[in-house]
């Protein structure tokens, strides 16, 4: 029999669902986030050959790239998305841009079905590269207005201080 996938909850067979999560920056949870894009990284490769073996190319890892993360939420009066986006661009001009505060470290938490933190990731030196304050409006649509943000980042890692929660 295969080893259990969940060392603490050996009775569990199902992987975690992707529908319960939270995001935190500036030490507080951000309200209403309904979708967070994937945490994805890739490595460029360097191809090289040795002089004594010219017929075989070898490949080595090179630069690591971290993909942008998208955030979506329904439009509300909570100002957090707009406040952060305005730190990179300010209508008052470049002098009003906050060079000190426009980058943030964020935490993304994946919750189990009972709402316990199952895994968490720290994402470093994030900044807003795209912001949609108000989507296209359509009087014939029956949908929630979605605020959208794309954040660039310089890496992420799993928070290993978060243990597997004990499920009852």
Fold of domain 21-43+58-158: Pnp Oxidase; Chain A (2.30.110)
**Exposure of 101 in the CB half-sphere (CA atoms within 13 A):** 11
C-alpha to C-alpha distance for 154 and 45, rounded to whole angstroms? 19
User: Is 156 buried (19+), middle (13-18) or exposed (0-12) by CB count in 10 A?
Assistant: buried
Task: Print the SS3 string covering the chain.
Answer: CCCCCCCCCCCCCCCCCCCCEEEEECCEECCCEEEECCCCEEEEEEEEEECCEEEEEEEEEEEEEECCEEEEEECCCCCHHHHHHHHHCCCCCHHHCCCCCCCEEEEEEEECCCCCEEEEEEEEEEEEEEEECCCCCCCCCCCCCEEEEEEECCCEEECCCCCCCCCC
C-alpha to C-alpha distance for 87 and 168, rounded to whole angstroms? 44
Contacts of 26 (CB under 8 A, 6+ apart): 104
For residue 141, the tally of other CB atoms under 10 A from its CB is 10
Please state the pTM of the whole predicted model.
Answer: 0.86
Domain boundaries, the chain: 21-43+58-158
Q: Tens digit of pLDDT per residue, the chain (168 long)? A: 567 787 787 777 788 889 999 999 999 999 999 999 999 999 999 998 888 877 888 899 999 999 999 999 999 999 999 999 988 876 676 666 667 789 999 999 999 999 999 999 999 999 999 999 999 999 999 999 999 999 999 999 999 999 999 888
């Amino acid at each position: 029999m295969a080893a259990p996938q969940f060392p603490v909850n050996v009775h569990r067979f199902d992987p975690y669902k992707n529908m319960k999560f939270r995001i935190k920056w500036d030490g507080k949870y951000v309200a209403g986030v309904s979708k967070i894009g994937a945490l994805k990284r890739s490595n460029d490769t360097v191809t090289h050959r040795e002089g004594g073996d010219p017929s075989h190319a070898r490949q080595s890892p090179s630069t690591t790239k971290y993909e942008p993360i998208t955030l979506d939420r329904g439009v509300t009066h909570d100002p957090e998305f707009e406040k952060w986006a305005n730190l990179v661009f300010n209508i008052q001009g470049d002098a009003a841009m906050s060079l000190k505060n426009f980058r943030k470290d964020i935490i993304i938490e994946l919750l189990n079905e009972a709402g316990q933190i199952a895994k968490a990731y720290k994402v470093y030196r994030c900044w807003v590269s795209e912001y949609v304050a108000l989507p296209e409006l359509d009087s014939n649509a029956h949908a929630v207005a979605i605020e959208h943000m794309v954040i660039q980042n310089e890496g992420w890692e799993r928070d290993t201080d978060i243990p597997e929660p004990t499920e009852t």
